[in-house]
A = this chain, B = another copy of it.
Amino acid sequence: MELTVSEENYLKAIYHLSEGGKKSVSTNDIAAEMKNKPASVSDMLRKLGEKEVIEYRKYYGLQITETGKRYALQTIRKHRLWEVFLVEKLNFAWDEVHEVAEQLEHIHSPLLIQRLDAYLNYPKFDPHGDPIPDEFGDVRSRPRVQLNEMEVNQTGQIVAVEDSTPAFLRYLDKVGAYIGARIKILDKVEFDGSVEILVDQKKTIFMSKDVACNILVIQS
């Protein structure tokens, strides 16, 4: 079965919202994520239900099916592989890739993705630290914590960001936080949740809770 670009985008949004811990995904949430109106979402949910990529009962809620998950993961795989390509091969900055990958993820060609994967040397993570599903849709997820939840003196390594907007990513570039950086919590301010961290045993960075909660760390 072939999905349209719009259907692929909806399914991806639904998958992400489902994985985000929330029990049920609401029409309003999807509308917000897709930047369109709830009425449009209702239209699309009916169609996705008919195509059996979600299980949908009006007014009750929806659940993504196994088939739907496979489609979503395939699109996510393509998105993240293209992001790696743009950064590794075309020297894009990590804050410049998302919009283009959003288009490239809809190019339909199994051969293309297989070759791209090989060309990039089968990367496991995208430039934002997000895992790249394999061709069967398997994702290797690592136990990650938000930086603001760590305690003073704990150490770890930055492995991903939860916000991929250019503004946030450029800010991280500016202060010197990057994927792969080894960090240690030097201080936490009770009052506002801001933290001070040591990066690579060299540089001290002070950041607000708003920033810290979008940085994901593997503790060590």
> Which A residues have a C-beta under 8 Å from some C-beta of B?
86, 89-92, 96, 99-100, 103-104, 107-109, 111-112, 115-116, 119
Contact = CB atoms under 8 A, between A and B. Distances in A.
A90 B103 contact: no
Contact of A112 (B90, B107, B109, B111): B90
A100 B112 contact: yes
Contact of A100 (B100, B107, B119): B107
Contacts of A92: 111, 115
A108 B91 CA distance: 18
Quick one: copies of this chain in the complex? 2
Contacts of A111: 92, 96, 100
Contacts of A115: 90-92
A30 to B, nearest CB: 25
A90 B119 contact: yes
Nearest to A96: B111
Contacts of A103: 107-109
A179 B89 CA distance: 27
Nearest to A89: B119
20 contacts: A86-B112, A89-B119, A90-B112, A90-B115, A90-B116, A90-B119, A91-B115, A92-B111, A92-B115, A96-B111, A99-B109, A100-B107, A100-B109, A100-B111, A100-B112, A103-B107, A103-B108, A103-B109, A104-B107, A107-B107
A215 B86 CA distance: 36
Contacts of A112: 86, 90, 100
A12 to B, nearest CB: 18
A145 B85 CA distance: 39
